[in-house]
Each structure stands twice: as structure tokens, then as C-alpha cells.
Amino acid sequence: MMDHPLGVALIGTGFMGKCHAMAWRNVATVFGGAHPRLEVLCDMPETRARDFASQFGFARASADWQAAISDPAVDVVSITTPNGLHRPMAEAALRAGKHLWLEKPMALTLADAQAMADLAAAHPGQVTILGYNYLRSPAFQAARELIASGRIGRPLSFRGVYDEDYCADPGLPWSWRMTHEGGGLGALGDLGCHLVSQMVALMGPVAEITAMTQIAVPQRPSPEGPRAVENEDSAFALIRFASGAQGSFATSRVAHGRKCRLQWEVQGTEGTLVFDQENMNQLWVHRAGDAGFSRHLTGPDQPDFAAFCPEPGHNFGFNEQKVIECRDLLRAIAGGAPARPDFAEGLRIERIIHAMAASQGQPVRIEEDLHEAA
């Protein structure tokens, strides 16, 4: 952790902006070190920025993101804006010499993500981290350790799904999220990239993908009349990993009744692991010879849980994951363990989801068609 306070600029005050603000306010309370200086909160209009600066505890408000990024009192920038602003804001922050915490998805297009990763590589003294908070779940960390230690043998198969229903209503109004120019990919960019981040962390690099996508609601109402939906509502994929293991992947933003069904199963030669984000404090484990699955509750024996609560069974939550993510960023800035996933690893995730979007039933080799994985 940092032993001197860093100045923070936060751009965006929506759902994820509030998550970042809570993380910045709580990271030193949970993990120690100097409390960050909450310097500038940026949003439009400026009245909104002023209101949220007061609520979130920032010293100043601004409607000018360029000025917020270039402010000499700012050392690190949190970007939680709509997807189409990720590249220009991230590149401005890197060129201004700032460290960077960027929410997923990394960019609208694969070319954008490549350019951002190249620029980050040209600024090796600046830390980048992407907002893949589900990687910080204590249950997920326990699963990674079980696989790495060989407790379920050699992984043979991954089955994953991430479904929500925020677009299930066909009467939901059209928005920027449903365009290539504003949103980029659809369910793959909003949801599927989270599942890919966990899949790769558990199973290793992807070698080949065969996928299909679907637009379930082709038009949405708007004040100007019906407008076309340009990006996918759902996607399915079959996967071959570099290890030789196989996998299946599915994601949907139109799955009625599903709220945060980030669910996966890893089958190995000596056991199976099962996880569901809707029950994020439980990991189900079966080992060869057991009568059935056993339920493992998160607790202080899992990494980072004890920093929040010393007792098992006291549930961990979504926002706690963001605090850990913030800690990882600060630790990397202080010269500790690298922040992950950084922009190089984020590019690897983007290659996979864009391969799924491009496949349309045809196999895509990740290394050959989309360059070697980062």
C-alpha cells in the first residue's frame, strides 16, 4: 500500500462511478496505508458533478474531463464512463503521466484495444488496471488455488454462462448501449467479457473458438420512432483451450429472471468445482470418491476476506471486490505485485470476445487470426 496519499480524479457518477468512489474512500480503512486524496469528480452537467462531489467526498467538481485528467494534483484517474469514451480518456490519462483504473469493456473495437495496449506499453512507469472485479471474489480465489494445487486433477472442461435480464423487456427504450458506435459489442462487451476473464484465469489461454450471436429484439422504441439494435443480445461459443481442454460459453442480456447469473463449472480428472455469482459466498467442490458435492463457505481463510471480517459465514459483497481491486492498483503503483488485468491482459480478453462476435459459426484460431495472446 501507499505510504503517501495519491490524488484521484473520478470521471463518471453512475453505478460504477459510485462503486469506485466507495472503493477509494474505504481502501485505506480496510487495508491500511495513506488515505487517497479525492481531488476531482467529473461529470456533465456541472451541477450533477457538484452534487456528486459533495456526496462522494471529492474536493472539487468539473464538467471538463480533459482538465480533470491534466490537473497537477491528480496522480491516478478512475474512468467509469460509457464505453465510447474509454479510449480517448484512457489515452489522455496515459499521455498526461497518470496511473489508470478503467472499467470494462476496455474499448469499442479490437483496433481500439490494441492501440490502448500499445500506448500503455510505451509508458511502463504508469500502472493500468481494468475493472474485472469478479476476479477478486474470495470464492473465485479459492477455486484458482484448488486448481493450481491439483486438487481436482487436470482440468478437462469449462462450462460457463453469464445471463442478466436488463434488456429482456422488448419495450425497453433504445439506447447507446445498443449501437456499435456507442456501445461496441452487446452482451459480449457488457457481460461476456467478465466470464472470459474468469475462464482464462481458471483454464489458461484459448486456442480456438466457434461461436454464434443473436439479436433477439431487432428494434427498440425511441422518441424518434423504432430504432435498430446493432449489437448482440446473446452469444454462444464452443472453445478449445491451448491445454487441450474444451469449453462452452454463453451470455445473454435478455434472459428473463436472471439478475447476475455468472455461473461456471470446471471438471477435472479428479474432481469438479461449481460457482454461481448469485450465491457468491459459496463454492461447491466434488472430489473423486466423494459421495456428492460439499459446500465451502467463504471465510477468513480465503485471500482478503479477513481484511473485511474475521469470522466465516459473514457474507462478502460486490462492493468489497472493488475495494480489493483498488488495493491492487495502489499496491502496483507502490512497486508491489503487478496490477491485473492490465491493458496487455485486457487486450487478450478483447481478442476472445471479438473472435466470438466475428465467428458466426466458423472456427477462429486466436493466435493465428487475432495475433498471439498478450
Asked if the structure places residue 91 within a domain, the reply is: yes
Q: Say if residue 203 is in the same domain as residue 279.
A: yes
Measured CA to CA, the distance from residue 218 to residue 229 in angstroms comes to 5
Measured CA to CA, the distance from residue 241 to residue 243 in angstroms comes to 5
Its domain, for residue 83, covers 7-133
CA angle centred on 254, ends 253 and 259, rounded to 5°: 65
Query: Residue written as cell 476476479?
Result: 135
Q: Say if residue 213 is in the same domain as residue 357.
A: yes
Q: Say if residue 359 is in the same domain as residue 295.
A: yes
Asked if the structure places residue 119 within a domain, the reply is: yes
Mean pLDDT of 370-374: 37
Asked if the structure places residue 247 within a domain, the reply is: yes
Burial of 203 (0-12, 13-18, 19+ CB in 10 A): buried
Q: Say if residue 142 is in the same domain as residue 13.
A: no
The model's pLDDT over 162-206, given as tens digits with 9 standing for 90+, comes to 999 999 999 999 999 999 999 999 999 999 999 999 999 999 999
Domain boundary among 133, 162, 186: 133
- Spatial contact of 229 and 132, defined as CB atoms under 8 Å apart: no
Between 369 and 250, whose confidence is greater?
A: 250
Q: Say if residue 43 is in the same domain as residue 185.
A: no
Asked if the structure places residue 330 within a domain, the reply is: no
DSSP letter for 3, please.
S
What's the CATH code of the domain at 287? 3.30.360.10
pLDDT for residue 370: 38
Mean pLDDT of 71-76: 98
Task: State what percent of residues in the chain have pLDDT above 70.
Answer: 97
Q: Confidence band (pLDDT; 50, 70, 90) for 3?
A: low
Q: Say if residue 159 is in the same domain as residue 303.
A: yes
The model's pLDDT over 203-224, given as tens digits with 9 standing for 90+, comes to 999 999 999 999 999 999 999 9
Length of the chain: 374
Asked if the structure places residue 334 within a domain, the reply is: no
Find residue 272's DSSP bridge partners. Answer: 267, 286
Q: Say if residue 166 is in the same domain as residue 309.
A: yes
The model's pLDDT over 271-326, given as tens digits with 9 standing for 90+, comes to 999 999 999 999 999 999 999 999 999 999 988 999 999 998 899 999 999 999 99
* 177 contacts: CB under 8 Å, gap ≥ 6: 83, 183, 186, 190
- Spatial contact of 52 and 22, defined as CB atoms under 8 Å apart: no
pLDDT for residue 367: 64
What's the CATH code of the domain at 11? 3.40.50.720
Cell triple for residue 196?
472470459
Q: Say if residue 144 is in the same domain as residue 237.
A: yes
Domain boundary among 74, 109, 133: 133
Taking all residues of the chain, what is their mean pLDDT, rounded to a whole number?
95
Asked if the structure places residue 55 within a domain, the reply is: yes
Burial of 232 (0-12, 13-18, 19+ CB in 10 A): buried
Q: Confidence band (pLDDT; 50, 70, 90) for 4?
A: confident
Asked if the structure places residue 164 within a domain, the reply is: yes
The model's pLDDT over 130-167, given as tens digits with 9 standing for 90+, comes to 999 999 999 999 999 999 999 999 999 999 999 999 99
Q: Say if residue 113 is in the same domain as residue 214.
A: no
Mean pLDDT of 75-101: 98
Work out how many domains the chain is built from and give that number.
Answer: 2
Domain boundary among 69, 101, 133: 133
pLDDT for residue 369: 43
Rounded to 10 deg, the angle between the 86-95 and 110-121 helix axes is 10
pLDDT for residue 372: 40
The model's pLDDT over 223-245, given as tens digits with 9 standing for 90+, comes to 999 999 999 999 999 999 999 99
Whole-angstrom Cα Rg for the chain:
21
Model-wide pTM > 0.85 = yes
Q: Say if residue 118 is in the same domain as residue 168.
A: no
Q: Confidence band (pLDDT; 50, 70, 90) for 128?
A: very high
- Spatial contact of 108 and 230, defined as CB atoms under 8 Å apart: no
CA angle centred on 181, ends 176 and 185, rounded to 5°: 80
The model's pLDDT over 350-370, given as tens digits with 9 standing for 90+, comes to 999 999 999 999 999 996 443
